[in-house]
Amino acid sequence: MASHHLAEAADAIDEALQYESSWQRAEEHRARLGDGIDYYGTSVGAIRATLRDTLRRYPALAHDDITALSSLLWSAAVYERRLAAIILLQGNLPMLVVSDLTRLEGFLRSSILADIADVLARDVIGPLLRSLDARDRPRADTVVARWARGDEPFLSRAAAVVNARS
């Protein structure tokens, strides 16, 4: 899909998330999860419905489209957009490959919130690792071991989450 269509899809998702927002829920999220990121106050159900509607409008999204769209969603420091990126990837796990760990590592590094990093590790990275074949798994295990040894808190957290579920 052309990049302008992906940008249109990301904009449509963002617009729908804002339309479905609630300032009360946004304040609840901020109180529970912390500052440093913006909140729309959109429910997880509305995020899932928005993604479902978007994927119906763009039914032929391939691997590169899904990963690029997830990056577009992640690019704004908004809790619901980042959750949408995670849910998008989670719903397309069979498309993900070992080289996607580079993008996912970038997402972890910029997570801002432990909650986002934990959900990404639990719902995307862990299942991706478990799905890898004998050829790709050692490469992925090396990446996760590096995360565990490093001093970046979200990477070491993600390694702990992934290793606890392996």
Q: Which pLDDT value is given to residue 5?
A: 86
Task: Read off the amino acid at residue 122.
Answer: R
Better-predicted residue by pLDDT, 10 or 164? 10
Give residue 166's pLDDT band: very low, low, confident or very high (50, 70, 90). low
The pLDDT tens digits of the residues spanning 26-51 come to 999 999 999 999 999 999 999 999 99
Q: Which pLDDT value is given to residue 3?
A: 74
Better-predicted residue by pLDDT, 145 or 166? 145
DSSP 11-75: HHHHHHHHHT--HHHHHHHHHHH-SSSB-----HHHHHHHHHHHHHHSTT--HHHHHHHHHHHHT
17-26 average pLDDT score: 94
Q: Out of 1.20.870.10, 1.25.10.90, 1.10.3720.10, 2.40.50.140, which CATH number does the structure's domain 1-95 have? A: 1.25.10.90
**Residues near 56 by Cβ (< 8 Å), separated by ≥ 6?**
none
Q: Which pLDDT value is given to residue 60?
A: 85
**Residues near 150 by Cβ (< 8 Å), separated by ≥ 6?**
156
The pLDDT tens digits of the residues spanning 70-112 come to 999 999 999 999 999 999 999 999 999 999 999 999 999 999 9
Burial letters for 9-48: b for 16+ Cβ neighbours within 10 Å, e otherwise? bbeebbebbeebbeeebbeebbeebeeebebbbbeeebbe
The pLDDT tens digits of the residues spanning 53-71 come to 999 998 889 999 999 999 9
User: Global pTM?
Assistant: 0.94
Structural domain boundaries in the chain: 1-95, 98-166
| Structure tokens that stand for 158 in this block | 């993600």
pLDDT at 1 over 90: no
Q: The tokens 């862990």 sit on which residue?
A: 126
- Tell me what the pLDDT averaged over the chain comes to: 94
